[in-house]
Chain A
Amino acid sequence: MKKVNVFGVIIAVVGVLIILTPVVFPVCEGLLELVNGKQVPMRCNWTARAEWIIGALVLISGLLVAFAKTDEARKRLNNQVVFLGLATILTPLFIIPTCMNPEMACNIGTKPALIILGVVVTGLGLYGSFLPRSNAEVVSD
């Protein structure tokens, strides 16, 4: 009988939540006018796009963890999940930081939500990486 790793399913669900974060807590909508008159989106817009990609990768990794056949493969995938979790946290903070004004929509909703989800993903990945196999939670489908 095929077994599904419950932590993989949870990681996949959190991946979906990361993708949905910029929808539930939208980033700033305004456009910035450059000196040459050209209008560009604020930089938090790019943060949101990057998080969509990271969220999709978390979702795929979660599903792979859920259906991985060997413990070794699951462990490697969980290591990858840890890095994706860290990327989720670091993107709005340092990699593609949100807007400078802490009062803006991206800083009061999107950023804290992404950091919390990133911490959850990192925690789940670490748990999966270091969990002794005998204690691993598995459910039958």
Chain B
Amino acid sequence: MKDINLFNLALQNLRRKPYRSVAIGLCVAVMTGSLFAATIILRGVQTSLSVGQARLGADLVVVPTGYKAPAQEAFITGQPTTFYMSDQIEAQIADLPGVAQTSSQVFVQTLTNASCCIGEFFLVGFDPQSDFTISPWLVTHLDGQPLGPLDVIAGDRILLREGDGATFYGTNFRIAGVLERTGMGIDRTIYVPIEGLRQMIADSAELAEETLTIPPNEISSVMVSIAPGADVIDVAEAIEGNLSGVNVFTASQLNQAVARQMQGVMGITFGVTATLWLMSLLLVGLIFSLIVNERQRELGLLRAMGARGRAVFQLVMSEAGLLTGMGGVIGLLVSGVLLMSFSRLIQLRLRIPYLLPSMLEIIGVEVGLLALALFTGALASLQPALSISRMEPYAAVRRGE
């Protein structure tokens, strides 16, 4: 026979009304689960943006007029886009005050039936002599070994591994390294030394199914690093003011672009979750008030047999805590499984950068939300628990009859 303690007694009381218990538990589970999912997605976007910006390495990105939005989209989601401008622009930017370093890039889109990989990817030609975005990575990961013209660096989502071969527009390349996952467009980008890219463009007429017609004096973007002490916005304005036909965006504007994308979805999610929390609070409060009324006789008899008011209070609070705690755990578990399983789908549908936050952070969020679930139960059942614990045993038995 089981010992009669507070926990067993509370558990047995919950088992007596399984459907009611399941309904309350589900309500709390949905509330906790959706709050967990919304928080982790938001933190995942922030993690991805900070890792992606560090990888981007530039303070400013200069693109031809009218291509600011597609370029931002390309950096965020990896959606390939191509546009070109004269390479003279790089030299003009380098002459402006406040500019420390510049490096040009050329964008090419892979064909959908590229022999290596399914889908369209971004080929970015970079100049190893002036580059300051990929080169620091080469120093730390490839011991600073210089890349050959046909050695390329691939993003994590391309599914190519170091040493693999890949053919683009008929030219064979070798994967010299794979970048760490960022959750941003960089993951779907292949960085090619400009010499190799120009060779690929020239040979495409003979070797490729589709000829590339990018003149050798054209570039797609200029990455700009500003001098210490210079203001990013001032330099950006100077570039747009002094050069015609270009648009500039800062690394922080990528954040704003993502924030705009997220605003609607996250606003609705947090709104619905807040409403759910309020509803859970009211529902648990209402049901526990009914439970206490319904069980006045039983709780009165318990008091008459010697149980103190505090014990009755603890019993009601334990039932609420057990119910909301179990609901919270189930909600967190289900939400965690769904989030892990469908993270890529969520990322693609919402068109957001996403990188799972650290395990420590996830555990922190889980503990916080579990505490919120328990607090909801405690807050909602506080009044009914107090009223029954203060009632005289005789009055409780009589009123419960």
Contact = CB atoms under 8 A, between A and B. Distances in A.
B344 A108 contact: yes
A104 B345 contact: no
B342 A102 contact: no
Given A109-B342, A137-B18, A102 B348 contact: no
Nearest to A109: B345
Most chain B CB neighbours (cut-off 10 Å) among A103, A113, A116: A103
A112 B159 contact: no
A108 B342 CA distance: 6
B118 A108 contact: no
Contacts of A115: 341
Given A116-B337, A137-B18, A101 B118 contact: yes
B100 interface: no
Contact of A103 (B119, B337, B338): B119
Nearest to A111: B341
Contacts of A101: 117-119, 159
Contacts of A108: 342, 344-345, 348
Q: Secondary structure at chain B's binding surface: helix, strand, loop or mixed?
A: helix
A113 to B, nearest CB: 8
B345 A103 contact: no
Q: How large is the interface on A (under 10, 10 to 19, 20 to 34, 35 or more residues)?
A: 10 to 19
Nearest to A33: B113
Interface in A32-75: none
B341 A116 contact: yes
Given A102-B159, A103-B157, A112 B341 contact: yes
Interface in B101-139: 117-119
A126 B27 CA distance: 26
Contacts of B18: 137
Given A101-B159, A137-B18, A112 B342 contact: yes
B14 to A, nearest CB: 15
Interface in A81-138: 101-104, 108-109, 112-113, 115-116, 137
Contacts of B117: 101
Contacts of B342: 108-109, 112-113
A112 B118 CA distance: 21
A103 B341 contact: no
A52 to B, nearest CB: 21
Contacts of A104: 118
Contacts of A25: 345
A109 B349 CA distance: 11
A25 B342 CA distance: 11
B111 to A, nearest CB: 15
Interface of B: 18, 117-119, 157, 159, 337-338, 341-342, 344-345, 348
Interface of A: 25, 101-104, 108-109, 112-113, 115-116, 137
What are the nearest 3 A-B pairs in CB distance? A112-B341, A108-B344, A108-B345
8 contacts: A25-B345, A102-B159, A108-B345, A109-B342, A109-B345, A115-B341, A116-B338, A116-B341
Given A103-B118, A109-B345, 18 more contacts: A25-B345, A101-B119, A101-B159, A102-B159, A102-B344, A103-B119, A103-B159, A103-B344, A104-B118, A108-B342, A108-B344, A112-B341, A112-B342, A112-B345, A115-B341, A116-B338, A116-B341, A137-B18
